[in-house]
């Protein structure tokens, strides 16, 4: 588990607190299904977890795990969460991340988009890979907060403010100036999106 809190692992694996405590203490061997759930929650190879033979990440060689957070970023419909809990991990091919200019998963996060304002680029319900370290405002697609809204849009710095554009032509552009522009908090640059067809 490393530094991951036991409660988080237990929640992700859907295991009772009593069973989890007994497993951690070594007082009980995990049932088969619990072992599989724990392996998935921890991102390790179930065979390694069961036998201790081989590599813990043999099933994930060539991939890096990026945390998924339960925050739903609005792409047209406002939604907000005060605290983003990690609810899982999404494997990304190392070569794909290199193509995106990243050599590690540090500072990356996956969120779920909501709404149709960024269609067809980002579909409603799509997963978006976001670089939390890339918060420099420039022209591009960003996850950001304005007031109590978390949003994904195209941003562009203007001389006297910020332009917010949707890819869906049904939504007109917005221009924020003065205090309104100062309230924009960049969460990170959107690097990649994927959705169910």
pLDDT value at position 81? 47
Using alpha carbons, select from 103, 86, 107, 85 the residue that is nearest to residue 95.
103
**Burial class for 16, CB neighbours closer than 10 Å (0-12, 13-18, 19+):** exposed
Per residue in 124-150, pLDDT tens? Answer: 989 999 999 999 999 999 999 887 788
SS3 167: coil
Average pLDDT over every residue of 24-48: 82
Instruction: Give the whole-number percent of the chain exceeding pLDDT 70.
Output: 87
Average pLDDT over every residue of 10-17: 88
pLDDT value at position 152? 94
CA–CA distance, 64 with 93 (Å, rounded to integer): 6
Per residue in 144-169, pLDDT tens? Answer: 988 778 899 999 999 999 999 999 99
Is the separation of the CB atoms in 196 and 124 below 8 Å?
A: no
CA–CA distance, 197 with 189 (Å, rounded to integer): 24
pLDDT value at position 63? 78
Least confident window among 19-23, 52-56, 147-151, 158-162 = 52-56
CA–CA distance, 120 with 197 (Å, rounded to integer): 12
Mean pLDDT of the chain: 85
pLDDT value at position 133? 92
What is the set of domains in the chain, with CATH numbers? 6-60 (1.10.260), 64-194 (2.10.109.10)
Average pLDDT over every residue of 51-58: 66
């Amino acid at each position: 588990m490393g530094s991951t809190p036991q409660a988080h692992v237990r929640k992700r694996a859907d295991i009772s607190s009593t069973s989890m405590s007994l497993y951690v203490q070594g007082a009980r061997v995990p049932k088969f299904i619990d072992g599989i759930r724990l392996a998935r929650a921890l991102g390790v190879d179930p065979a390694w977890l069961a036998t201790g033979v081989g590599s813990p990440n043999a099933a994930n060689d060539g991939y890096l795990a990026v945390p998924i957070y339960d925050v739903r970023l609005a792409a047209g419909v406002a939604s907000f969460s005060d605290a983003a809990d990690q609810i899982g991990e999404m494997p990304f091919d190392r070569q794909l991340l290199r193509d995106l200019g990243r050599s590690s998963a540090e500072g990356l996060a996956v969120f779920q988009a909501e709404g149709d304002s960024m269609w067809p680029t980002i579909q409603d319900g799509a997963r978006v890979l976001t670089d939390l370290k890339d918060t420099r405002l420039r022209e591009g697609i960003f996850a950001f907060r304005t007031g109590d809204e978390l949003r994904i849009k195209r941003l562009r710095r203007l001389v006297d403010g910020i332009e917010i554009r949707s890819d869906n032509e049904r939504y007109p552009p917005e221009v924020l100036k003065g205090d309104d522009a100062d309230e924009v908090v960049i969460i990170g640059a959107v690097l990649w999106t994927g959705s169910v067809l």
